[in-house]
């Protein structure tokens, strides 16, 4: 069975066929999915999907790109949703200096606050780090109890080693199948087999040969194939390892 540890089925891109797509993915062997919210509204939608389907779990949080939606009321709503029994993580949270490099301090303050929330609730974090590698690593390592996954990991192999040493997991997505994937593949090579999780980031980041189309969890097979190739493992073994890793990371029995 395949575990898609990061897919935004709450996204408007699935408005026309959300339930059909989820059910088709499940029928095709995707046994577990985590849907991370990006603001109060999408976090509520992720929880709704998790209540509807036993194979869907939710994460809740405020994404740096959605900082303008952040106020006391929306933060209180996220904190409340975080207590839901099917909320398995705080995310997607982090830093995005590609999106907005002019509010770094505000982004860091919101990220810190959500790291503290995860620690308080003893849940893992799903970290978004885009062109903010140094600050993202410094912030999470400032909290020794913080744990979780760097989603669609895009940092260096050196930074990966630091995170791995501290127990973090790394998420691998469609971009490892791209022609220019050199850096991500170097990281995959050094990443121990018990710390790799697989993600689609649906509806984004479709792997080759589906690049440019809307992504969904069924396309994880291309990511699994690439990991098998790099690690020299049969596909069933990649599927089994990443399934176990995802369940351990999110505390799913
Ligand atoms: Ni995402």
**How far is ligand 1, taken at its centre, from the CA of residue 6, in Å?**
6
Beta bridge partners of 34: 57
Q: What is the pTM of this model?
A: 0.97
Whether 152 and 205 have beta carbons less than 8 Å apart is answered as yes
**CA 201 to ligand 1 centroid distance, Å:** 5
Interacting residues of 48 by C-beta distance below 8 A, sequence separation 6+: none
Contact by Cβ (8 Å): 42, 69 = no
Ligand 1: distance of its center to the CA of 7 in Å? 7
Cα 139 to chain centroid distance, Å, stands at 18
pLDDT in tens, 180-224: 999 999 999 999 999 999 999 999 999 999 999 999 999 999 999
- If you measure from the C-alpha of residue 91 to the centroid of ligand 1, how many angstroms do you get, rounded to a whole number? 9
Q: Residue 128 C-alpha to ligand 1 middle, in angstroms?
A: 7
Q: How far is the CA of 202 from the centre of ligand 1 (A)?
A: 7
The pLDDT tens digits along the chain (253 residues) read: 999 999 999 999 999 999 999 999 999 999 999 999 999 999 999 999 999 999 999 999 999 998 887 889 999 999 999 999 999 999 999 999 999 888 999 999 999 999 999 999 999 999 999 999 999 999 999 999 999 999 999 999 999 999 999 999 999 999 999 999 999 999 999 999 999 999 999 999 999 999 999 999 999 999 999 999 999 999 999 999 999 999 999 999 9
Kindly report the number of other CB atoms within 10 A of residue 242's CB atom: 24
The separation between CA 164 and the C-alpha centre of its own chain, rounded to angstroms, equals 16
- Closest Cα to residue 170, out of 181, 158, 160? 160
Secondary structure percentages of the chain, helix, strand, coil, to 5: 50, 15, 35
**Element spanning 73, H or E:** helix 72-81
What per-residue confidence (pLDDT) applies to 66? 85
CA of 122 to the centre of ligand 1 (A): 21
Q: 212 in helix, strand or coil?
A: coil
Please name the helix (run of DSSP H) or strand (run of DSSP E) that holds residue 226, with its range, or none: helix 220-231
Report how far ligand 1's centroid is from the alpha carbon of 200 (Å): 8
Distance CA 3, CA 129 (A): 22
Helix and strand numbers, DSSP H then E, in the chain: 9, 8
Distance 8 CA to ligand 1 centre (A): 7
DSSP state for residue 215 in the 8-state scheme = P
127 alpha carbon – ligand 1 mean position (Å): 9
Mean pLDDT, the chain, whole residue set: 97
Ligand 1 centre distance from Cα of residue 203 (Å)? 9
Whole-Å CA distances, 141 to 10, 154, 156 = 30, 17, 16
Q: How far is the CA of 158 from the centre of ligand 1 (A)?
A: 23
Whole-number Å distance, alpha carbon 92 to ligand 1 midpoint, is 6
Task: Please check whether residue 138 is in contact with residue 166, taking contact to mean a CB–CB distance below 8 angstroms.
Answer: no
**Cα of 220 from ligand 1 centre, angstroms:** 15
Q: How far is the CA of 93 from the centre of ligand 1 (A)?
A: 9
């Amino acid at each position: 069975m395949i575990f898609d540890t990061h897919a935004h089925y709450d996204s408007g891109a699935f408005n026309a066929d959300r339930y059909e797509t989820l059910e088709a993915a499940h029928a095709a062997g995707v046994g577990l999915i985590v849907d991370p919210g990006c603001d109060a509204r999408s976090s509520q939608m992720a929880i709704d999907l998790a209540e509807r389907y036993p194979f869907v779990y939710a994460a809740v949080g405020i994404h740096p790109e959605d900082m303008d939606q952040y106020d006391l009321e929306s933060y209180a709503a996220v904190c409340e949703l975080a207590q839901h029994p099917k909320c398995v993580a705080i995310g997607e949270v982090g830093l995005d200096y590609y999106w907005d490099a002019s509010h770094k301090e505000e982004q860091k303050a919101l990220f810190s606050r959500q790291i503290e929330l995860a620690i308080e609730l003893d849940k893992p974090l799903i970290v978004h780090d885009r062109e903010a590698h140094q600050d993202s690593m410094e912030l999470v390592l400032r909290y020794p109890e913080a744990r979780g996954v760097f989603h669609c990991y895009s940092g260096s192999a050196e930074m990966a080693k630091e995170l791995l040493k501290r127990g973090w997991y790394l998420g691998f997505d469609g971009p490892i199948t791209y022609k220019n994937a050199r850096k991500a593949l170097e990281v995959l090579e050094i990443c121990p087999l018990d710390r790799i999780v697989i993600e689609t980031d649906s509806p984004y980041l479709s792997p080759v040969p589906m690049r440019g189309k809307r992504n969904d969890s069924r396309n994880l097979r291309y990511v699994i194939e690439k990991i098998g190739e790099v690690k020299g493992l049969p596909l069933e073994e990649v599927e089994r390892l990443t399934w176990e890793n995802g369940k351990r990371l999110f505390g799913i029995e």
